[in-house]
Amino acid sequence: MLYDIFIDPFVQMYDMPDFFLQVLWEGFVAGILYALIALGFVLIFKASGVFNFAQGIMVVFAGLTLVGLNENGVPAYLALILTIGVMGVLAYGVERVVMRPLVNQPDIILLMATIGLTYFLVGFGEFVFGGEPKQMITEQLGLPTGSTAFEIGERGLVILQHIDIAAAVIAVLMVAALGIFFNKTRIGRALRAVADDHQAALSVGISLNQIWAIVWFAAGLVALATGIMWGARSDVSFALEIVAFKALPVLILGGFTSIPGAIVGGLIIGFGEKIGELYWGGLVGGGIESWLAYIIALVFLLFRPQGLFGERIIERI
Amino acid sequence: MNAIVKEKAVAPEPAAETAKREVLLKVDNVSLSFGGVKAITDISFDIQKGEIRAIIGPNGAGKTSMLNVINGFYHPQEGTITWQGKVRRKMKPYEAASNGIARTFQNVALFKGMTTLDNIMSGRSLKMHRNFFWQLLWHGPAANEEIEHRKKVEEIIDFLEIQAIRKTPVGKLPYGLQKRVELGRALAMEPDLLLLDEPMAGMNLEEKEDMSRFIVDVNQEFGTTIALIEHDMGVVMDLSDRVVVLDYGKKIADGPPEEVQANQDVIDAYLGVSH
């Protein structure tokens, strides 16, 4: 038993390096995708101090809008632009109808509002686009679909899907852009101010409405990118909404307020999950991928409740 | 500190000899109610440029509601507010801020996770005008602008003598210092009218003396008009040029401190004579 836990997996890693590399790559890609979704949560959390329940459904909604428009004869790139527009309208609508009436309310009220928004988007999405899964328009968008095999050693083989590479590149670009936007502009400081104290932010002349609209739009763009990438790997369906909650352990690891944290947290969860499943999963009958992330996060919570990069929680008593 | 003084050398006349000063803010017949509860009933008064105006009254008299009306958190159901000679329409708090009204809060509303420096910098957010694309590049005019604002903020930090806590997250600071940082953030807005909601609540004698000194200095050196709510009568009588007294949402007295002090209605209100 001890041999199976502590020695055998490492022997396997050593014996079959190509398989190990493949697992690492899978873990990396999964991590990037988790990071993307976590990024959306981080944006909203930074600006309003709430966990945005609706982020998962926004991913689905963005993906469905894109595919749905294309199905109705809109060329892929135009559909992409229109979808960005739709996410903008959604952001404005959320600010106007959901956030604005709730200024100065406790965080829990805002949290409930995002749950309400989730159900609205589920219903509205099904009403407009129907409930069945759709194929992502990967090729029409000019995203690569092939795969490249690398030979490792004498008979080893590692296969990289091009779409996964594209996902990684897009994720990195997105993170860089958001990082610069929030760290180098006055909007970044305003954002933290808004998250910290609504009244005080208003009193120094920060417009909550404007900041919220901007942040929800940014979260919408992240959701769209996530929807495209995830959709390309499986389907665009409402099931994605559930997967999106994998972002929760990622956020616990990385910290709810940190963009780099989302990335690092995503990667840790991605690697941990895949390696855990393939090398240790057999010991308990497999299928640990779906809950291992939460265990990792729980253990982490014991030591760093604010996450790896989160803002320190200060409470004076 | 010298730099601020020079820049703002509007040299307001000594408070005593100002018979007729320009009216900065005028409140006319303002009433405010929440549902059936009347918070403010038909109140009129004015705030003159360059003065320190105190609003006093027992708990629940409507003082904070009055400040909230002035800075746009609440919109009165009746009455008008005239700001710098113009009748003000319904105004949002951030619009009030960009019109030159800054404030502090009764229960300290700071950005607790941010440092003192960042908190005070946030008071400059309205003054930063450079296109954010420049800020993205962190370069050229935007960088110069940031440096300029930093300078201003450092002057305020010097003025308030809080150099030692520049980099401390404000959530960690003791209450008295938090109040001072909050004042700093309001000052960073270079306001025409500064609203202070109980700036000395919960302070010890020494802290109160410091805070009083800062308030007087702000008023005299920068020429900033100040409206303050305060319970410490000694402080109010020392600092203010004119006092308006509220009780149960109504104005019961208005005038120079000595006069108000002698007013029978005021004495009754504070002694709790039955209504």
**CATH number, domain containing residue B47:** 3.40.50.300
| CB of B179 less than 8 A from some CB of A | no
pLDDT of A239 reads 82
Q: Cα–Cα distances in Å, from B91 out to A5, B72, B83, B196?
A: 66, 5, 11, 19
Q: Which of B74, B125, B168 to mutate to test the interface with A (most CBs of A within 10 A)?
A: B125
Give a yes or no: residue B199 inside a domain. Answer: yes
Q: What pairing do the DSSP bridges indicate for beta strands B242-247 and B250-255?
A: antiparallel
pTM, 2 dp: 0.77
CB–CB contact B122 A202 (8 Å) = no
Summarize the confidence of residues A197-223 as an average pLDDT. 87
Q: Residue A49's closest CA among A180, A176, A193, A213?
A: A193
Three-state SS at A285: coil
Same domain, B195 and B91: yes
Half-sphere exposure of B154 (CA within 13 A, CB side): 7
Task: Domain of residue B54: give its range.
Answer: 1-100+191-275
Residues of A in contact with B136 (CB under 8 A): 180-181, 184-185
**Range in A78-92, A275-289, B29-43 the model is least confident about:** A275-289
Same domain, B5 and B141: no
How do the domains of chain A map onto residue ranges?
2-33+53-243
Sign, CA dihedral B238-B242-B246-B252, equals positive
Same domain, B149 and B162: yes
pLDDT of A257 reads 79
Residues of B in contact with A184 (CB under 8 A): 135-136, 138
Rounded-to-integer distance, Cα A263 and Cα A312, Å: 19
Q: Which among B109, B132, B169 has the least Cβ separation from residue A314?
A: B169
Same domain, B10 and B61: yes
Q: Which residue has the tokens 């009455």?
A: B79
Asked whether the predicted pLDDT for residue A22 surpasses 70, the reply is yes
Same domain, B256 and B273: yes
CB–CB contact A199 B73 (8 Å) = yes
| CB of B110 less than 8 A from some CB of A | yes
Per residue in B5-61, pLDDT tens?
A: 444 444 444 444 445 678 999 999 999 998 888 899 999 999 999 999 999 988 888
Give the pLDDT band (50/70/90) at residue B261: confident
Same domain, B186 and B224: no
CB–CB contact B135 A184 (8 Å) = yes
Instruction: Quote the tokens at residue A119.
Output: 């159900």
Q: Which of B190, B208, B236 is the last residue of a domain?
A: B190
Q: What is the dihedral of CA A30, A36, A41, A45, to 10 degrees?
A: 120
Q: Which of B162, B190, B218 is the last residue of a domain?
A: B190
Same domain, B201 and B247: yes
Same domain, B90 and B220: yes
Per residue in B217-253, pLDDT tens?
A: 999 988 899 999 998 888 888 899 999 999 988 999 9
pLDDT of A190 reads 83
User: pLDDT: is A185 or A293 the higher one?
Assistant: A293
Rounded-to-integer distance, Cα A312 and Cα A297, Å: 18
B228 pairs with which residues across the strands?
B54, B196
Residues of A in contact with B92 (CB under 8 A): 202, 207
Q: How many CB pairs under 8 A join A and B?
A: 92
pLDDT of B20 reads 60
The total number of structural domains that make up chain B = 2
Asked whether the predicted pLDDT for residue B72 surpasses 60, the reply is yes
One DSSP character per residue, A122-162 reads HHHHHHHH-SS-B---TTTTT----EEEEEETTTEEEEEEH
Give a yes or no: residue B105 inside a domain. Answer: no
Same domain, B172 and B203: no
How many Å lie between the alpha carbon of B127 and the closest alpha carbon of chain A? Answer: 10
Nearest CA in chain B to A205: B94
CB–CB contact B93 A203 (8 Å) = yes
